[in-house]
Amino acid sequence: MRKTLASTLILTALTGAPLLAGAEAVRLEKNMSLELANQIAAATVASCTASGYNVTATVVDRAGSVRAVQRADNAGPHTLAASQQKAFTSASAKNTTLAMMEGAQKNPASANLVYIPGFLLLGGGVPVKVGNEVIGAVGVAGAPGGNLDEQCGMAALDKVKDALK
């Protein structure tokens, strides 16, 4: 019995076969294309501009890497970093940053999220989803309130909803 088990383990290791039945060695994932990222960034800035807000929109892929950035003509310099951090936070946590901020205000244990490098718990980060799968996020900064930043991001995602099917 021992010899059979040892032989099976060695054979499995040599062939690279998964030890668990049904375990997959290669995963297929949807991700953010450059074209889609540019569409979301442009639609976000346009939405905020129509409301009179000068913002920066940063779009990241599922890993939080920047894919596209657009900055309105009078957006403050701080909006670049803030929009990127909001997008990263949203993609990483798979949630809106406004919901995360509100959760942290109500739950002291969640308040520790602010210590994660790159996280920013201010409204304006919105995950980009295909079905239930998060493929990235858009971060918006520069409107006079995180809820307004989030509204611009949501309006942009509504404009590209056909591409997210």
Where are the strands (E) in the chain, listed by range? 56-61, 66-71, 125-130, 133-141
The rounded mean pLDDT for the chain is: 90
- By three-state DSSP, how is residue 79 classified? helix
Portion of the chain with pLDDT greater than 70, in percent:
86
- Six token digits for residue 41: 């960034």
Q: What is the structure's pLDDT at 8?
A: 46
CA dist., res. 81 & res. 62, Å (int): 18
Q: What is the structure's pLDDT at 148?
A: 98
pLDDT at 20 over 90: no
- By three-state DSSP, how is residue 60 classified? strand
146-159 and 97-106 helices cross at what angle (nearest 10)? 140
Q: What is the structure's pLDDT at 21?
A: 56
Closest CA to 29 of 65, 64, 66, 61: 61
Ramachandran quadrant class, 125 (left: phi over 0; alpha: psi -120 to 50; beta: rest): beta
How do the domains of the chain map onto residue ranges? 29-164
- The CATH topology of domain 29-164 is Beta-Lactamase (3.30.450)
